[in-house]
Homo-oligomer: A and B are copies of this chain.
Amino acid sequence: MNAPSPLDRVRVVLARPSHPGNIGAAARAMKTMGLAELWLVSPASFPDPVAQARASGAGDVLAAARVVDTLAAALADTVFAAGLTARRRDVSLPCLGPRAAAAEIVDWRARGKVALVFGNEAGGLTNEELGLCALPVTIPANPEYASLNLGAAVQLMCYELRMAAMGEGVRAIARHAPEPATHDEIEGFFGHLEAAIVASGFLDPARPRRLMPKLRRLFGRARLEKEEVAILRGILASFGTAGNK
């Protein structure tokens, strides 16, 4: 990408891609829609000549791709992540279609890096991986055959992002919006919360009752801000001091 793109703060993350051809197809799909930043989490094979061939004219996107070991590492400096999922893992999760999700992702760019996460070809994102994404996104596919090719799914989502970005001329992004918490800050809070409620006896690690997923879902909907994480951790620390020392 030579010219600055309206989508240059959107990162595409492929979690554990099995087929190098799909990595190349994703790079090509991204570049046609003006996206340039590709991260690969534990790819089965990369670099790979098959990826290069399928990338066609998007070899620059492949060449600049970052390879990391975990999804958490790919999201560490992002302020918002949307994860594609073919089905509802948790019936109570709010789940957007591509168009509404693209509008939200495009809005988040004003605050920092955002990520669009795609799972492995065979199994999609694990529940744990999806838990790291604030927004689950489902493509409204044919219920009888909903299996989009990975590269095709990337094409479709990047297209919606481009459409959303092109249509935002009139969209007013709040200029004094509070600073969002980073992924690492939010994970730090969840770690602190979990340790605190284990210490207080509310969470029994031997019988977790899906408590942490429920709490992640609650605070995920709120889209925590940096100051709020500091307040919540201050509250937890105050309880810890009173209760455990």
Contacts and interface: CB of A to CB of B under 8 A. Distances in A.
Contacts of A96: 173
Contacts of A241: 200-201
Contacts of A148: 28-29, 32, 155
A224 B228 contact: no
A32 B141 CA distance: 5
Contacts of A201: 238, 241-242
A68 interface: no
Nearest to A146: B32
Given A2-B144, A145-B58, A239-B200, A218 B214 contact: no
Interface in A40-64: 54, 56-58
Nearest to A218: B228
Contacts of A149: 25, 28-29, 54, 56, 151, 155
- Chain A interface: which size bin? 35 or more
A56 B145 CA distance: 10
Contact of A173 (B138, B200, B238): B138
**Copies of this protein, total:** 2
Contact of A152 (B145, B151, B169): B151
Contact of A147 (B32, B141, B166, B200): B32
A206 interface: no
Interface of A: 1-3, 5, 25, 28-29, 31-34, 54, 56-58, 88, 91-92, 94-99, 138-142, 144-149, 151-153, 155-156, 159, 162-163, 166, 169, 171, 173, 175-178, 196-197, 199-202, 211, 214-215, 218-219, 221-225, 227-228, 231, 234-235, 237-239, 241-244
Given A97-B169, A221-B222, 5 more contacts: A56-B149, A99-B163, A221-B221, A239-B242, A242-B244
